[in-house]
C-alpha cells in the first residue's frame, strides 16, 4: 500500500487518495485499450490508491455506524465511476454537432451519477443525525 505518514491527517490523505485513484483507473484503462502496456501500471496504482483510501476509514464504534460508513464509501465509488463513464460517453460523440440519440447514453449515466451522489449525501446526513 502507498505510505501515508502518521503525521498526515486523515482529512487530507483520504480525499487525495480518492481523487488520484479515481483519475488513475480510467486513465490506465484507456491506455490499455489503446494498446499501451503501461496502462496496467496506471490502473493498478489507481486501484492501490482506492484500496488505501478504503482502509483509512476512521473506526466506528457500532456495527450500524460501520455499515452506514461502508454504504457511504461504496456510493462514493459508484458516483465517481458513473461521472467518469458519463464524461467518456459525452466526449466520445465526436467533433460534429451531436444529436439527442448520440447524447442520450451520457445523459442517462449522468442522471444515475446525480442519483448516486444524492444517495451518498442522504447517507451522510442520516449518519450525522444518529
**Is the predicted pLDDT of residue 22 greater than 90, yes or no?**
no
What's the rounded mean pLDDT across residues 111-124? 90
Same domain, 44 and 5: yes
**Is the predicted pLDDT of residue 1 greater than 60, yes or no?**
no
Same domain, 130 and 82: yes
CA-nearest of 55, 58, 50, 44 to 17 is: 50
> pLDDT tens digits, residue range 52-105?
888 888 777 888 888 888 888 889 989 998 888 888 888 777 777 888 888 888
CA-nearest of 50, 115, 43 to 82 is: 115
**64 or 4, higher pLDDT:** 64
The total number of structural domains that make up the chain:
2
Same domain, 97 and 33: no
8 A C-beta contact, residue 46 and residue 25: yes
Task: Please state, in angstroms and rounded to a whole number, the distance separating the CA atoms of residues 114 and 104.
Answer: 15
Same domain, 84 and 98: yes
Same domain, 71 and 117: yes
Percent of the chain with pLDDT over 70: 95
pTM summary value? 0.74
Domain that holds residue 15: 1-56
Same domain, 29 and 65: no
Amino acid at each position: 500500500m502507498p505510505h501515508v505518514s502518521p503525521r498526515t491527517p486523515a482529512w487530507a490523505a483520504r480525499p487525495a487518495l480518492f481523487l488520484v485513484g479515481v483519475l488513475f483507473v480510467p486513465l490506465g484503462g484507456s491506455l490499455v485499450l489503446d494498446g499501451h502496456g503501461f496502462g496496467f501500471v496506471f490502473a493498478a496504482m489507481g486501484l492501490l490508491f482506492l484500496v488505501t483510501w478504503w482502509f483509512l476509514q476512521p473506526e466506528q464504534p457500532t456495527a450500524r455506524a460501520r455499515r452506514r460508513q461502508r454504504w457511504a464509501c461504496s456510493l462514493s465509488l459508484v458516483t465517481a465511476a458513473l461521472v467518469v463513464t458519463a464524461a467518456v460517453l459525452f466526449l466520445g460523440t465526436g467533433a460534429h454537432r451531436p444529436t439527442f440519440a448520440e447524447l442520450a447514453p451520457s445523459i442517462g449515466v449522468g442522471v444515475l451519477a446525480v442519483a448516486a451522489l444524492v444517495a451518498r449525501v442522504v447517507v451522510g446526513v442520516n449518519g450525522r443525525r444518529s
